[in-house]
Amino acid sequence: MLFRSRLITATEGAVLGQTLGWAVLSLLLLIPAGLALAAGAHPLPRFRVIDVIWLVLCLAPVASAALHFGAGDDRAAVNLGCEWLGLLATWCLLRVLQSETAPFKAWPRLIAAITVGLALLGLWQHYFGYAADRAEYLSLITRQTALRAELASPSQPASSQARRELAEIESLLFRLGVPEEGPSRKLWEARLLSSSEPVGLFALANTLAGALLVGMVLWGVWWLASHQPDQPLPAISSTRLGIRRVSTGLAWALVGFCLVLTKSRTAWGGTLAAGGLLTLLQAGEQSGWFHRPRWRTLFLIVAGLSLAIGLASWSGGLDRLVFSEAFKSLRYRAEYWTGSWRMLWDRKHPTRWLTGVGPGNFRACYLPFKLAESSEEIADPHNLLLDHWSAGGLPGLLAVLALGGMALASLLTSSRAGSTSRIPDTPFPEKPQRLEWIGAFGVVVVLMLLGSSFDAAWPLAVVAVGLLLGGWASRNAVESP
């Protein structure tokens, strides 16, 4: 429940401390993990290079926050520093679980469940949720305007009930993240009233698209690793096998269709890049995932993608502006990156390139370097490398580069050896089948208690259904024959 809930929780409120519950819970779970190691219930993981990289990645922002303490938004720096410590605790928990076969085999189901859950929520938002959100927001704004006019009217005395109702409306708008009057408010309203891109449990469609992309790639790699030509099929009936194939195809269709609706050109490019990399590995006979042409699978993928694009265009979720505005979007990001680069190499602060500006301090440090033609006052550089560089300094940048390098090196090494990591053949216990239901609905309860309200029960129930569908659809990728 911790891993699932944490991965589908929006992190935009981390600056205000709205997600500190997850960091505290991760740190508390280190206690039973330490007791398990001390009692010999789990073997002590061997300290590796990857652990050093994660230490640097998580501790660099904490060190940068300490160096810049008193020179920026200290509250945001402390909140984000705790988040990084919680992430380090999560990594330690994963390293302890890595020695167990059952959690290892459950990872494909975990990733698939999260991916399908977010996709199903995104589709619900696109076709049903946004209409209700718009109606609720317009109702609140109309009532707020009427109450302000009533309180400002000199002809009738202001009532305490009107003041109390106005305060409740303004408090609700603040909790919803509605900016105050000005350009930020207009931009926020434009996104709500005019945009239909699904965002899931995040603040931006690009974030959801990135999560779906990573989930699809990992799920696809595990699926390929478990469908080797020399690997026998599971010993189940043809009817049950057909149902699982249909459920897997449905789950993939939901994720792909939601990815199209996000209109995230970056995620589309990442998907094409991942598919191209796998194709190159196959063409060069470097991968053990493919041993014969799979033209039928390729045809189904292309046909499904074409159908998703056609359906999204027909339903209004995709239009020509998605492609015609691509260069404008890239130009905006180039402006952000230029300003961020100048901020990091500011001559008045000659050590910024080394120490960064600390977590939570980017916006205040960026604004003096914002280009005149850049309209948005961003809170982060919209770039992975610049983000880690500004938050954790040069050590943070080198750590994230090292992570990417190790991942690519591991992929190429296993491909040359023709032995992509396969799922172990140890029998999977029966209890996790029941725990799938407990975990899925437990996620909903935990999210409502720590981060949401009972008003969000319906969309979270949609996520729970997606978790169950993803877990069921990925079972054929983890079960032993």
Radius of gyration, alpha carbons of the chain: 24
Per-residue pLDDT, 267: 81
Residue pLDDT, tens place only, 137-183 = 888 888 888 888 877 777 666 577 878 888 888 887 777 667 777 77
DSSP code per residue over 269-330: HHHHHHHHHHHHHHHTT--SS-SS--HHHHHHHHHHHHHHHHHHHHTTS--THHHHTHHHHH
Best CA proximity match to 377, nearest among 186, 207, 206: 186
Q: ∠ at Cα 231 (225, 236), nearest 5°? A: 105
Per-residue pLDDT, 473: 63
Residue pLDDT, tens place only, 57-108 = 999 999 999 999 988 889 999 999 999 999 999 999 888 877 666 666 667 7
Distance separating alpha carbons of residues 265 and 205, to the nearest angstrom: 11
pLDDT over 70 at 477, yes or no = no
Which residues, other chains included, contact 19 with Cβ-Cβ below 8 Å and sequence gap of 6+?
A: 9, 10, 11, 13, 83, 451
Contact 46, 62 (CB under 8 A): no
The residue type found at 341 is W
Which residues, other chains included, contact 245 with Cβ-Cβ below 8 Å and sequence gap of 6+?
A: 476
Residue pLDDT, tens place only, 111-142 = 787 888 888 888 888 888 787 778 888 888 88
Distance separating alpha carbons of residues 478 and 109, to the nearest angstrom: 8
Q: What is the pTM of this model?
A: 0.73
Per-residue pLDDT, 357: 94
Residue pLDDT, tens place only, 359-391 = 989 999 999 999 888 877 888 898 889 999 999
Residue pLDDT, tens place only, 16-25 = 887 888 888 8
Per-residue pLDDT, 143: 85
Cβ-in-10-Å burial (0-12, 13-18, 19+) of 76 comes to buried
Model confidence band, residue 186 (pLDDT cutoffs 50, 70, 90): confident
How large is the average pLDDT for residues 314-330? 63
Which residues, other chains included, contact 468 with Cβ-Cβ below 8 Å and sequence gap of 6+?
A: 113, 436, 437, 440
Distance separating alpha carbons of residues 466 and 436, to the nearest angstrom: 12
